[in-house]
Amino acid sequence: MAAQSEYVFAGKLSDLKSSRKQRVTVSDRVLALFYANGQVYALDHFCYHTGGPLSLGDIEDSHGRMCIICPWHKHSITLDTGESLYTAIDPFNPRNIKHNCSKGVKQRTHSVRIEGDDILVKLSDVTEKVFESDRYFTEEYKVFMENV
């Protein structure tokens, strides 16, 4: 898929404010749109872990970071950056808990612009597969799924 250089219509803000989560397709890429804290976010729809449908997850505030919780295995993914977060617990001192530790960016995010009631999305440069969520949009994955 070629890089998309323009913003394209992806949905109505009024609809997203009601549902808070939507699955949409932009230029053959399946995305999840989220509305949280007055902001709209666009991420790849299929969870980097094993392909869970993020638009069916719950939006949660994780110690100050807005996240989508994947409905399949409950991984926590930040809406703004696509980082996967975890809570670290020191086994020698279980009271020593560190929230919001990052595994790095796993889920690709895309740019959003609002014009009136229109949500416009510009895909980030998907020509290079650099994030784990990219795997669901490769030819290898399509061939694999056709042969399962």
Query: Which tokens go with 120?
Result: 């416009």
For the bound state, the minimum distance from the C-beta of residue 148 to ligand FES, rounded and expressed in Å, comes to 17
Of 75 and 110, CB closest to ligand FES? 75
For the bound state, the minimum distance from the C-beta of residue 141 to ligand FES, rounded and expressed in Å, comes to 14
Contact at 8 Å (CB) between 75 and 58? no
Per CB under 6 A, 75 contacts ligand FES = yes
Within 10 angstroms of residue 11's Cβ, the number of other Cβ atoms is: 21
Burial class, 47, CB count within 10 angstroms (exposed 0-12 / middle 13-18 / buried 19+)? buried
Which of 14, 50, 96, 138 is the binder for ligand FES (CB under 6 A)? 50
- Of 7-15, 16-24, 48-56, 123-131, the segment contacting ligand FES by CB under 6 A is 48-56
- Of 16-24, 69-77, 105-113, 131-139, the segment contacting ligand FES by CB under 6 A is 69-77
Per CB under 6 A, 68 contacts ligand FES = no
* First-last CA distance in the chain: 23
Which of 73, 99, 113, 129 is the binder for ligand FES (CB under 6 A)? 73
Contact at 8 Å (CB) between 96 and 118? no
Burial class, 148, CB count within 10 angstroms (exposed 0-12 / middle 13-18 / buried 19+)? exposed
Q: Which residues bind ligand FES (CB under 6 A)?
A: 47, 49-52, 70, 72-73, 75
